Amino acid sequence: MKAPLVADIKRNALDDGPGIRTTVFFKGCPLRCVWCHNPECTRAAAELAYRHERCLGESCRRCRARCPTGAICGDGPAQIARARCDLCGACAEQCPSAALEVIGRRYAVDELVETLLVDVPFFENSGGGVTLSGGEPALFAEYTGAVAAALRARGVHVMIETCGDFDADRFETHLLPHLDLIWCDIKLVDPVAHARYCGRDNTRILENIRRLSRAGTPPLLLRVPLVPNITATDENLRAIARFVADLGHDRIGVMPYNPLWHGKALGLGRAPAYTRATSMSAAERKRCRDALGELAIVGDL
């Protein structure tokens, strides 16, 4: 069982489930949503991230002097010739301002579990636990299931944040028995629109949601990322509301659009495919609430 890459371990997370949580972000996702808020997690391979606002520029240049392939270039702040970069990490090791970072580290199951158990006092005092996120943690169902099983054996609450695009049989075998809570995204109901904006259609996602809903346990919360002019249209939100209600659910989670992901994408050498640079207005949020009808809203709207 090969360990997947972990992009980040975020402690003291307050928005990834009940209580104070520690969230593990795995690298690798089957979708390519044009607004992805965690672009550093979409690809399963390691990547070099650059935060230009931290770079000391000409007064430093340690990264350039250390890079063995000449991938760090430019006359001012660092520029990365990514085709030359072999991800050796030498530049990041020399960077005094942490402007450069190789994203992606492998942990053995026991190593990751012990890293997470450090936060047990916070979990116990707040009703929190560990959240498996990404990327898509269900892509690595055997590994993440082993982590979840070990944590629950130590009394830790474990939940997953998933896009819903996973192999249902592997999920049910390796992961489902070890989860206390599932948060699953539902982005677009129309399969053509889903393929256009997320990279593939939603046939498997909607079927997996139905399957999880029929199972009944663990609790399932469906969540919609509110992306102006894509998911946050009246037509799509009404369709989502009907779908959720038909499953017998009376509430839905919402995630209003936040443009801060743009900087992360640029730092990975990618031009954002969706360019809105402002958060949602109060009027937009109200319209979304109205379109979701009688469903109870979980989240900030």
Q: How big is the CA angle at 240 (ends 23 and 207), to the nearest 5 degrees?
A: 70
pLDDT score at 76: 66
pLDDT at 216 (0 to 100): 87
- Quickly state the pLDDT bin for 1 (edges 50, 70, 90): confident
Domain boundaries, the chain: 5-44+116-298, 50-103
Confidence category of residue 74, pLDDT binned at 50, 70, 90: confident
Picking from 128, 157, 170, 139, the residue whose alpha carbon sits closest to that of residue 15 is: 128
Residues 6+ positions from 177 with CB-CB distance below 8 Å: 145, 149
Contacts of 216 (CB under 8 A, 6+ apart): none
Crossing angle between the packed helical segments 282-291 and 234-246, to the nearest 10 degrees: 40
The torsion angles phi and psi of 246, rounded to 5 degrees, stand at -65, -25
Note the pLDDT of residue 79: 86
For 50-103, the fitting CATH number among 3.30.565.10, 3.50.50.60, 3.30.70.100, 3.30.70.20 is 3.30.70.20
Calpha distance 63→77 (Å, rounded): 11
Rounded CA separation 294/31 (Å): 30
Q: What is the pLDDT of residues 249-279, one digit of tens each?
A: 999 999 999 999 999 999 999 999 899 999 9
Q: Please name the helix (run of DSSP H) or strand (run of DSSP E) that holds residue 101, with its range, or none.
A: strand 100-103
pLDDT of residue 34: 97
Q: What pTM, to 2 d.p., does this model score?
A: 0.95
**The domain 5-44+116-298 belongs to what CATH superfamily?**
Aldolase class I (3.20.20.70)
Q: Is the pLDDT of residue 245 over 90?
A: yes
Task: Tell me the H-state helices in 23-182.
Answer: 62-66, 90-94, 109-117, 120-126, 141-153, 168-170
Q: How far apart are CA 265 and CA 36, in angstroms?
A: 9
Eight-state DSSP code of residue 279: P
Measured torsion, CA atoms of residues 216, 211, 168, 225, in degrees rounded to the nearest 10 = -90
Q: Is 203 helix (H, G, I), strand (E, B) or coil?
A: helix
- The helix or strand, by DSSP H or E, that contains position 205, with its residue range, turns out to be helix 203-215
